[in-house]
């Protein structure tokens, strides 16, 4: 036998789905059980093993999953779900309204550190009508309610602790966890009793953890794996031409690269200085050189799918050193030296160096601080970042309010930048506390938020690049939800 033979070639997915086969997915990161309920970088497991109540379509309209239908109260202070009645957990238990109640309460628990906790906390009361109808009462209307239900996986209460301790995963999802080898692999078997008839097509799913970017690429190239969402931009660019691979971009995941500014540093408390930073950066070059041309330069966090996205907003800040210098002069700053923390990965370092160089051109000296992810995270959470840092953030792909109440850099109440202004708080709350998430005035408020972000520039967005799916020709039907949960219900291998 040979470990290298690719069982079949052939590009282009054939039309008719086919049962059977094992799909091997290459992941750059390992799964962290303790982060099961938090939005983290590795989100392949959630939607394989579990389900959510609803699922967004491309226009952010919720579609049925475990919930067959729902009714939002006129004042937006309550929502009533009708649930599927034919759903079994992997351990054979029937899925009922109680599981939904637990799921919400679970997210309210601070230890789960779920980003949408704020939204979950808005749920104040539960009302069952039988096992399959449930009404949630809300403290106030929330515009991003269904962001929560897109996010919230339905878990088995009895085994939830095992889940976060990495012992077992019991859900209702299309696949059951068959085995885990930390640092190297996860394997899943088909859930024979899945509620969606005839699904999933695949017999099994194998996730290989391959930290080394180029090793990961080789595994795709040699057919060792058929699917990955962690191929580096530069390599994606190289693969785009190749008919052997299908490349698909999602407006999801940790979608935007940004330059964070910590206002506790005196030099950057002047808004004009921050705006100067924003003007000084050459986003086009950054996308071209550091992101390998994947994604698009933008000074707003929003992906194109977002209701607030606008060409104007994206192009608000362009590469304009003179303007930057002018603003600095205006702010009375002639020489400025700032530390910049960045991930000590090749990618992170590349971005940081580009930022450093561009800022140097407008007379701002930047001292790079390569930092390993653990330390970076601590600083982000404990608001102890240096004056500047660069990372990427998610949550812009959803209802704009979510970003501002859930994502740490933007959180109106408490953010890594230590930024706060009554105005910002007001519009955020206003945008959030309303039932009509998609109404015109809602959109107007979102626009305000967007403008405020641009104006205050405490988070300076650089580029928006969602997850990129790279699949070899033989894989079809793989999908991600808005939180980049991997969905393989309809995935199959073409013979």
Partner 1 sequence: MALLLTRRRRPGLLSARGLTGLALVGAVALAGLFAPLLTSYDPVAQSDLALAGPGADHLLGTDDIGRDLFSRVLYGIRTDLLISFTAVPVGALLGCAFALLAATSRWADMSVQRLFDLILAFPGLILALAVTAILGPGALPVVIVIALAEIPGFGRQLRAGILVQREREYALAARVGGASRLRVLVRHVLPNAVDPLIVQGAVAMSVAVFIEGAMSFLGVGVRPPEPSLGSILSQSMAYLSTHPAFAIAPLTAVTALVLGFALIAEALNKGIRR
Partner 2 sequence: MRSYLLKRLPSAALVLLLASFVIFAILRLIPGDPATSLAGPDAGPEAVAAIRARLGLDQPFLTQYAGWLGDLLTGDLGPSYAIGGEVSELIGNGLGATVELTLAALLLVVVLGLAIGLVGATTRRPWVAGALRALTTAVLAVPPFVTGIALVLVFAVTLGLLPPGGHESVLDAPDLAVQYLLLPALCLALPSAAILGRYVKDGLERTLAEDYVRTATALGVPRKRIIRRHALPNALPPVVTVLGMQIGQLLGGAVLVEAIFAWPGLGQLAEQGVVRRDYPVVQDLLLLMVGVFVLVQLLTDLVYAWLDPRIRWE
407 binds, among partner 1, partner 2, none (CB under 5 to 8 A by kind): partner 2
Site residue total, partner 1 (CB under 8 A): 27
C-alpha 394/C-alpha 89 separation (Å) is: 30
**Tokens of residue 214, six digits:** 């180029």
Q: Which does 386 bind (CB under 5 to 8 A by kind): partner 1, partner 2, none?
A: none
Q: In angstroms, what is the minimal distance from the CB of 366 to partner 1?
A: 10
Of residues 344 and 420, the one with the C-beta less far from partner 1: 344
| Candidate list 168, 310, 353, 383; residue touching partner 1; CB under 8 A | 353
**Residue 120 Cβ, how far from partner 2 at the closest point, in Å?**
13
Cβ distance to partner 1 smaller for residue 188 or 279? 279
**From candidates 106, 143, 219, 228, binder to partner 2 by CB under 8 A:** 219
Pick from 48, 134, 232, 362: which binds partner 1 (CB under 8 A)?
232
* Site map (CB under 8 A) of partner 2, residues 400-439, x = contact: ------xxx--x--x-------------------------
Interface residue with partner 1 among 60, 290, 428, 465 (CB under 8 A) is: 290
Point out which span in 142-150, 159-167, 323-331, 457-465 binds partner 2 (CB under 8 A). 159-167
| Cis upstream peptide for 200 (omega within 30°) | yes
Alpha-carbon dihedral 361, 362, 365, 366, rounded to 10 degrees: -80
Choose from partner 2, partner 1, none: what does 370 bind? Cβ within 5-8 Å by kind: partner 1
Q: Give 164-169's long-range contacts (Cβ < 8 A, gap of 24+).
A: 164/33, 164/34, 164/36, 164/37, 164/112, 165/33, 165/34, 166/33, 166/34, 169/36, 169/45, 169/49, 169/50, 169/90
Q: Is 318 in the site for partner 1 (CB under 8 A)?
A: no
Q: How many CB atoms lie within 10 A of CB 374?
A: 8
Which residues, including other chains, have CB under 8 Å from residue 2's CB and lie 6 or more apart? none
Residue pair 463/297 in contact by the 8 Å Cβ criterion: yes
Query: Restricting to residues 174-213, which ones interact with partner 2 according to CB under 8 A?
Result: 180-185, 208-212
DSSP 8-state code for residue 382: T
Residue 41, token pair as written in the block: 């970088």
When asked if residue 377 is in the footprint of partner 2 (CB under 8 A), the reply is yes
Window 22-51: residues binding partner 2 (CB under 8 A): 30-35, 38-41
For partner 2, the closer of residues 113 and 320 by Cβ is 113
List C-alpha distances in Å: 165 to 43, 157, 161, 470. 17, 14, 6, 31
Q: Is residue 378 part of the contact set for partner 2 (CB under 8 A)? A: yes
Nearest partner of 190 among 51, 7, 317, 48, judged by Cα: 48
Per CB under 8 A, 357 contacts partner 1? yes
Binding-site member from 211, 368, 418, 452 for partner 1 (CB under 8 A): 368
Q: Which residues does 104 contact at the CB level (< 8 Å), separation at least 6?
A: 120, 123, 126, 136, 152
SS3 192: coil
Chain positions contacting partner 2, by CB under 8 A:
1-4, 30-35, 38-41, 110-113, 115, 117, 165-167, 180-185, 208-212, 214-216, 218-219, 221-222, 224, 372-378, 380-382, 406-408, 411, 414
């Amino acid at each position: 036998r040979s470990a290298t033979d690719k069982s079949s070639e052939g590009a282009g997915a054939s039309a008719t789905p086919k049962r059977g086969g094992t799909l091997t997915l290459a992941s750059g990161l390992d799964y962290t059980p303790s982060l099961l309920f938090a939005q983290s970088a590795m989100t392949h497991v959630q939607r394989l093993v579990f389900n959510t109540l609803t699922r967004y379509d491309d226009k952010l309209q919720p579609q049925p999953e475990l919930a067959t239908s729902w009714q939002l109260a006129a004042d937006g202070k309550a929502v009533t779900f009708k649930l599927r009645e034919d759903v079994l957990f992997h351990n054979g238990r029937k899925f009922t309204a109680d599981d939904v109640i637990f799921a919400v309460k679970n997210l309210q628990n601070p230890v789960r550190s779920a980003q949408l906790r704020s939204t979950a906390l808005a749920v104040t009361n539960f009302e069952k009508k039988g096992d399959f109808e449930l009404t949630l009462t809300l403290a106030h209307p929330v515009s991003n309610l269904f962001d929560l239900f897109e996010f919230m996986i339905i878990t088995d209460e009895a085994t939830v602790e095992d889940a976060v301790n990495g012992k077992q995963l019991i859900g209702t999802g299309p696949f059951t966890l068959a085995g885990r080898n930390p640092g190297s692999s996860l394997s899943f078997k088909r859930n024979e009793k899945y509620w969606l008839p005839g699904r999933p097509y695949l017999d099994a799913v194998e996730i290989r953890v391959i930290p080394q970017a180029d090793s990961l690429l080789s595994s795709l190239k040699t057919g060792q794996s058929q699917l990955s969402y962690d191929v580096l931009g530069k390599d994606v660019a190289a693969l785009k031409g190749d008919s052997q691979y299908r490349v698909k971009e999602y407006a999801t995941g940790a979608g935007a690269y940004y330059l964070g500014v910590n206002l506790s540093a005196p030099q950057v408390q002047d808004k004009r200085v921050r705006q100067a930073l924003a003007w000084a950066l050459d986003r086009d070059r950054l996308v071209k050189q550091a992101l390998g041309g994947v994604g698009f330069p933008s000074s707003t966090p929003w992906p194109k799918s977002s209701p607030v996205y606008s060409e104007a907003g994206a192009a608000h800040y362009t590469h304009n050193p003179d303007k930057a210098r002018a603003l600095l002069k205006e702010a009375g700053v002639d020489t400025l030296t700032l530390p910049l923390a960045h991930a000590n990965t090749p990618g992170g370092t590349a971005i940081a160096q580009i930022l450093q160089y561009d800022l140097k051109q407008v007379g701002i000296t930047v001292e790079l601080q390569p930092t390993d992810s653990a330390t970076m995270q601590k600083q982000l959470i404990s608001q102890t970042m240096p004056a500047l840092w660069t990372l990427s953030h998610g949550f812009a792909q959803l209802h704009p309010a979510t970003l501002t109440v859930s994502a740490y850099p933007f959180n109106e109440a408490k953010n890594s930048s230590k930024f706060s202004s009554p105005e910002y708080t007001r519009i955020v709350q206003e945008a959030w506390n309303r039932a009509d998430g998609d109404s015109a005035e809602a959109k107007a408020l979102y626009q305000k938020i967007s403008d405020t972000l641009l104006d205050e520039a405490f988070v300076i967005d650089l580029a928006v690049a969602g997850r990129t799916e790279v699949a070899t020709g033989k894989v079809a039907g793989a999908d991600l939800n808005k939180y980049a949960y991997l969905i393989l219900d309809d995935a199959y291998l073409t013979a």
